[in-house]
């Protein structure tokens, strides 16, 4: 994947995250909290989502303070949430204020590496850098390997250092956990996010590559072409459960599995930020407590393994951009806010969110402590972020080394898919979904196996579905898939449960343990097979089938990733299907987001 392609994917991923999870709400919430800037000097800020709440609070306090003045004029800091890679893409390709909100004066991605990549890309285009040479670090959290405590103990935790080499050994041992005396835990299962989308995924990829070389800095292109380094990477990837755009998918699934008593067979280890381990152990796996939700610690806590080969930090830098839209007063106002957030009383607040303070004068205390499975005295060594050309090559190599997938795309072609995507006409939902599916096919690796199934009822097909393309190597069938998708027409009802179950059974029957096995299930409506009376029973039977098959010691992990498409999709039912198979629901309630959502779904493979 070329860097430009990577950036567009990152951008898409960001927008998906923003539109599907909380981004839109964030912006509304920010305006509610901060109010009207009036005639003040406005310092727009783009921040990664994990710190939007904290920085909005701090901005509100700062904006009211006497220190928020430049040249006698008041300063008004206004953060907005944008995921790191997405903001980088916007800064690189042109930030459209009409669709993306105001251009930032301060950019605070999750990690400094994003700034390096931005400047490199600008330089490649013959443009001036935007990110300054130096920056302050607002708050930090290291990348760790999260493991259920009993599993880590089986590897010698906490006395024996554990690292990527141990992961490699377990991942490539045919006996899996039996090799260390725990056959009941089955094979070693690793959770890693897609490095094209996620800072954690990118840092994990860098860290495992350093581990393969024995270095802690100076990773080179020659290192990447070393057959031993490549074999190490493939060994690690072979244990991956699935990828994905955000670590929350793993943590939420792990937590649900814990509640069912199957945490040890869902995943053995997941590469996440240290703060996620804290959130998980506090009973808040995704770091967000919804209204009425109560944090309940898991039965089996996670522990943070700091890889003995070294790790990297998400350091949340404050970049005061050197851009033509930033004037002197805004830059000065930004510096005032930067100083404000570094004040000890404000830095202590980052601890509330499980981060380490960027101000070295502020003690790292609760909750970054042993009671939450983390160690403030770790990590013991820091890895250097590779030079941008090495990073790009690393990502290209990963595209070849990542675990192959076996995926069935199941598309709803019911009559409702023929409705307009937006009130007032334009393209239909099916037309938008077709284009999104066609575009997403390019994200698959050539050796992935992909098939296409469509479903509706009253067509006289066997089972209310039709296999338009039998599963095959996508490098051979990509054009066939695209042609079939282009030809789809909206037809009759939505036999969602029946087709979900039958598709799942077929994938289980053809399960390939060497691949990620999954179904992408797109539907825009509720189950409608002509008989509503048995819907509840059908649904319960479906969930039981999914849970019984995908969970536990002898599970056959086929994941179902539903896309809830359009406002009438049965979000609750689809979420249940996702959770029952330890996958994730993707919300495309706004049909215009389907392209980005499809890209995010395919990031799991």
Partner 1 sequence: MKRLLALVVAVGLVLGAIAIRGWASGDSGDEAGTGNEATPDGAITIVCDADLEAVCHELELSVDDVTVRVEEAAVTAEALSQANTGAADVDGWLVSQPWPGMVAERRDAAGQVPVLGSPSAALAVSPGVMVMDRERQRVLAANCGGEITWECVGEVAGDPWPVVGGEEAWGEIKPGEQPPDTSAGLLILGQAASSFFGTSDFASNDFSADPAFRPWFEKLARSVPDYTPPAGTPLQQFLVIPASYDVVGALEAQAGPAVASSRDRDRLTIAYPSPMLSAEVVLVPTSPAVSGESLVERLGEERLGEVLAGQGWRVQGISLAEGLDPDIDVGDSAPLPGAGVLDALRSLWIEVVR
Give the binding site for partner 1 (CB under 8 A): 39, 71, 112, 115-116, 131-137, 140, 161, 216-217, 308-310, 313, 315, 317, 327-329, 358, 360-364, 379-382, 384-385, 387
**DSSP single-letter state for residue 404:** P
CB 468 within 8 A of CB 484: yes
Q: Which is closer to partner 1, CB of 63 or CB of 342? A: 342
Q: Which is closer to partner 1, CB of 217 or CB of 479? A: 217
Q: How far apart are CA 283 and CA 296, in angstroms?
A: 4
Q: How far apart are CA 471 and CA 195, in angstroms?
A: 26
Residue whose entry in the numeric block shows the structure tokens 């990152």: 10
Q: Coil, helix or strand for 561?
A: strand
What is the DSSP pairing of strand 465-473 with strand 356-357? Answer: unpaired
Q: Which is closer to partner 1, CB of 123 or CB of 295? A: 123
How far is CA 27 from its chain centroid?
A: 20
Q: How far apart are CA 486 and CA 339, in angstroms?
A: 55
Closest separation between CB of residue 65 and partner 1, Å? 19
Can you give the three-state secondary structure of 345-375, one letter per residue?
A: HHHHHHHHCCCEECCCCCCCCCCCCHHHCCC
Closest separation between CB of residue 321 and partner 1, Å? 13
Closest separation between CB of residue 142 and partner 1, Å? 8
Q: Which is closer to partner 1, CB of 211 or CB of 522? A: 211
Closest separation between CB of residue 162 and partner 1, Å? 10
In the chain, the largest separation of any two C-alpha atoms, in whole Å, equals 76
Q: Which is closer to partner 1, CB of 286 or CB of 332? A: 332
Closest separation between CB of residue 310 and partner 1, Å? 5
Q: Which is closer to partner 1, CB of 60 or CB of 364? A: 364
Closest separation between CB of residue 328 and partner 1, Å? 5
Q: How far apart are CA 504 and CA 511, in angstroms?
A: 10
**DSSP single-letter state for residue 189:** -
Q: Which is closer to partner 1, CB of 315 or CB of 448? A: 315
What is the DSSP pairing of strand 139-148 with strand 313-314? Answer: antiparallel
Closest separation between CB of residue 138 and partner 1, Å? 10
Q: Which is closer to partner 1, CB of 138 or CB of 605? A: 138
Q: Which is closer to partner 1, CB of 140 or CB of 521? A: 140
Q: Which is closer to partner 1, CB of 114 or CB of 337? A: 114
Q: Which is closer to partner 1, CB of 21 or CB of 135? A: 135
Q: How far apart are CA 364 and CA 379, in angstroms?
A: 13
Closest separation between CB of residue 216 and partner 1, Å? 5
Closest separation between CB of residue 356 and partner 1, Å? 8
Which stretches of 89-164 are assigned E, i.e. beta strand? 106-108, 136-137, 139-148
Q: Which is closer to partner 1, CB of 212 or CB of 569? A: 212
CB 549 within 8 A of CB 556: yes
Six-digit token pair at 276? 């996620």
Six-digit token pair at 41? 């000097």
Closest separation between CB of residue 114 and partner 1, Å? 10
Cross-strand pairs, 108: 47
Beta-carbon contacts of residue 544 (< 8 Å; ≥ 6 apart): none
Beta-carbon contacts of residue 590 (< 8 Å; ≥ 6 apart): 19
Tell me which long-range contacts 572-577 makes (C-beta under 8 A, separation of at least 24): 573/496, 573/526, 573/527, 573/539, 574/521, 574/523, 576/539, 576/543, 577/500, 577/521, 577/542, 577/543, 577/546
Closest separation between CB of residue 212 and partner 1, Å? 15
Closest separation between CB of residue 87 and partner 1, Å? 16
């Amino acid at each position: 994947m070329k860097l430009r392609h990577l950036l567009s994917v990152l951008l898409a991923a960001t927008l998906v995250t923003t539109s599907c999870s909380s981004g839109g709400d964030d912006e509304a919430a920010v305006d509610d909290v901060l109010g009207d800037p009036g005639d003040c000097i406005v310092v727009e800020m783009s921040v990664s989502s994990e710190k939007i709440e904290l920085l909005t609070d701090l901005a509100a306090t700062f904006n009211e303070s006497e220190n928020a003045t430049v040249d006698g004029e008041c300063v008004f800091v206004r953060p907005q949430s944008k995921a790191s890679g997405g903001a980088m893409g916007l800064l690189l390709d042109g930030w459209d204020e009409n669709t993306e909100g105001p251009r930032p004066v301060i950019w605070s991605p999750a990690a400094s590496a994003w700034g390096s990549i931005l400047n490199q890309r600008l330089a490649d285009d013959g443009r001036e850098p935007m990110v300054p040479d130096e920056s302050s670090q607002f708050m930090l959290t290291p990348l760790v390997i999260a493991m259920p405590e009993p599993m880590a103990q089986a590897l010698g935790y906490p006395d024996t250092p554990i690292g990527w080499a141990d992961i490699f050994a377990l991942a490539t041992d045919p006996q899996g956990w039996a090799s260390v005396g725990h056959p009941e835990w089955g094979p070693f299962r690793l959770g890693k996010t897609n490095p094209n989308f996620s800072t954690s995924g990118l840092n994990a990829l860098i860290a495992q590559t350093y581990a393969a070389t024995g270095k802690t800095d100076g990773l080179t292109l020659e290192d990447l072409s070393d057959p031993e380094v490549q074999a190490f990477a493939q060994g690690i990837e072979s244990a991956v459960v699935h990828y994905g755009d955000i670590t929350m998918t793993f943590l939420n699934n792990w937590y649900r599995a814990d509640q069912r008593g199957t945490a040890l067979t869902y995943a053995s280890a997941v590469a996440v930020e240290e703060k996620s381990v804290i959130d998980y152990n506090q009973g808040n796996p995704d770091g967000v407590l919804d209204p009425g939700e109560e944090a309940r610690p898991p039965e089996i806590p996670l522990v943070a393994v700091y890889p003995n080969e070294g790790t990297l930090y998400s350091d949340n830098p404050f970049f005061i951009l050197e851009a033509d839209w930033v004037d002197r007063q805004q830059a000065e106002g930004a510096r005032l806010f930067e100083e404000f957030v570094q004040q000890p009383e404000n830095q202590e607040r980052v601890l509330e969110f499980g981060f380490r303070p960027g101000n070295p004068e502020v003690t790292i205390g609760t909750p970054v402590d042993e009671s939450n499975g983390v160690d403030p005295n770790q990590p013991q060594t820091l890895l250097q972020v590779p030079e941008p050309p090495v990073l790009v090559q690393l990502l290209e190599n990963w595209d070849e080394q990542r675990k192959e997938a076996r995926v069935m795309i199941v598309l709803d072609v019911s009559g409702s898919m023929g409705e307009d995507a937006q009130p007032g006409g334009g393209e239909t939902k099916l037309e938008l979904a077709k284009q999104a599916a066609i575009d997403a096919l390019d994200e698959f690796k050539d050796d992935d196996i992909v098939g296409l199934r469509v479903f509706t009822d009253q067509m006289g097909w066997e089972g209310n579905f039709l296999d338009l393309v039998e599963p095959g190597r996508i490098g051979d069938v990509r054009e066939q898939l695209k042609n079939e998708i282009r030809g789809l027409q909206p037809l009759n009802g939505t036999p969602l449960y029946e087709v979900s179950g039958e598709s799942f059974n077929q994938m289980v029957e053809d399960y390939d343990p060497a691949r990620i096995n999954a179904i992408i299930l797109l539907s825009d409506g509720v189950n409608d097979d002509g008989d509503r009376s048995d819907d509840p029973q059908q649904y319960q039977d479906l969930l039981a089938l999914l849970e019984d098959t995908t969970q536990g010691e002898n599970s056959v992990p086929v994941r179902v990733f539903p896309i809830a498409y359009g406002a009438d999709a049965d979000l609750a039912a689809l979420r249940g299907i996702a959770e029952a198979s330890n996958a994730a629901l993707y919300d495309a309630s706004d049909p215009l987001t389907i392209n980005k959502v499809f890209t995010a779904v395919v990031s799991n493979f």
